[in-house]
Structure 1
Amino acid sequence: MPSSIHAILMLICCLVPLTGQAQDLLSPVPDRPRASDFALADIDGQVHRLSDYHGRPLLLNFWATWCPPCRAEMPSLQRAHEQLEPEGIGVMAINVGEDPGAIAAFLEFSRISLPLPMDRDTRVAQRYPVVGLPTTFVIGPNGRIQLSAAGELQWDDPAILDQIRALKAR
């Protein structure tokens, strides 16, 4: 990642406040813009595309291994993935600006199996309104960004999961 972008994201990562109330965590996105499609490979070479989720909701997280709140929320993202995937709702965490070695080292000490595609040149993150890391968007079945959150969350919180599930019914 270019050093200036890396420095800005690191600063914002550390400044994003944590919120304690689940009902305040996922904010509606004004105008519900269309989510930008992408094709990104994970460390095993498997390509993940936004278009693979057309017709179903997707929780799309942007993260990095150097970001403490990103690492802290990853287990709850995994638990959300385990609950939502059987219901037809996707969960994906795009790593921003790192090489496969950093992700492999992170995975060596974690039990994460949700899709972790790599945005090594940050082009995908730049097409989304990412305000720091972690930033997460919930994309509806229609391919539009419906909800967003900045900062660390407990993604398996029942109130958050219900808010995401509600998009499936629309």
Structure 2
Amino acid sequence: MWRNIIAGIILSGLVIWGIMDYVTKEDSSQNGANGAHEDEQSTNPDENKNTAKENSDKLEVGIKIGNKAPDFTIENLEGETVSLSDYQGKKVILNMWATWCPPCRAEMPDMQRFYEKYANQGVEILAVNMTSQDTVSSIEEFKEELGLTFPILLDIHNEVGVTYRVLQIPSTWFINNDGVITNIALGAMNEEMMVKYIKQMDN
């Protein structure tokens, strides 16, 4: 009998302790959140940017949403060497395409209209042509025909295609200022979709 009474007292004590501990943590959490909010308001914006960059540097490199986008270095249509990391600090639309791909051709006018509106707002389009299945001359003709002005990169050895595991084209990765993938579009895009995904980076 006494053993049952003692056990009951101990159990009651644990329950009471658990409730008190929960309440204490809730209060601490709220106070901490308020304090954090105050600190955030008083923090230098440059320090916030540095913290965001440090956090993104710790992310896993990969091709999924939330991953740090894999870097690469290839040449553009003008023969200049270009790396994805050159655009750190900008929002990047990384598009994989080919001249012989009908959906790729269909989305290009929308990409050009978007680029003309947002190129001066810290947004860049990198159109990586799957050149292992294309020719430089056909790309130049394609660019001139459609009046494209955004950078066109040449994946001659399919290095980027392998890194990003491109199984269909067009495929597009939306990458924020810190180099983190925020959205992926498989298939042809339109201007409205690009605007939507770019604006989501600010939320």
Per-residue deviation, residues 68-123 of structure 1 (Å, max 9, x unmatched) = 11011111111111122111011111001223112112123120010001001111
Q: Compute the TM-score of the two structures, normalised by the length of structure 2.
A: 0.63
* Equivalent of 1:93 in 127, 130, 135: 127
Higher RCO (Cα < 8 Å, 6 or more apart): 1
Per-residue deviation, residues 30-68 of structure 1 (Å, max 9, x unmatched) = 552221111221221122221111122101100000101
Q: What is the alpha-carbon distance in structure 2 between the residues aligned to residue 163 and residue 104 of structure 1?
A: 29
Q: What is the alpha-carbon distance in structure 2 between the residues aligned to residue 68 and residue 163 of structure 1?
A: 23
Q: Flag structure 2 segments of 5+ consecutive residues without an equivalent.
A: 1-62
Going by fraction, where is helix more abundant, 1 or 2?
A: 2
CA RMSD, 1 decimal? 1.8
Per-residue deviation, residues 16-40 of structure 1 (Å, max 9, x unmatched) = xxxxxxxxxxxxx855222111122
1:119 maps to 2:155:
yes
* Equivalent of 2:79 in 29, 45, 51: 45
* Equivalent of 1:105 in 128, 141, 150: 141
Say whether the 8 Å CA contact 2:94–2:127 is kept in structure 1.
yes
Aligned-partner residue type, residue 146 of structure 1: T
Q: What is the alpha-carbon distance in structure 2 between the residues aligned to residue 134 and residue 51 of structure 1?
A: 22
Distance 1:133-1:165 versus aligned 2 partners, 3 A rule: same
Find runs of 4+ consecutive structure 1 residues off by over 6 angstroms.
none
Q: Flag structure 1 segments of 5+ consecutive residues without an equivalent.
A: 1-28
Per-residue deviation, residues 141-166 of structure 1 (Å, max 9, x unmatched) = 12121100111121x21x54033123
Equivalent residue for 1:137? 173
* Equivalent of 1:34 in 68, 74, 77: 68
Q: Compute the TM-score of the two structures, normalised by the length of structure 1.
A: 0.75
The alignment partner of 1:102 has SS state of helix
How many equivalent residue pairs? 139
Q: What is the alpha-carbon distance in structure 1 between the residues aligned to residue 93 and residue 65 of structure 2?
A: 18
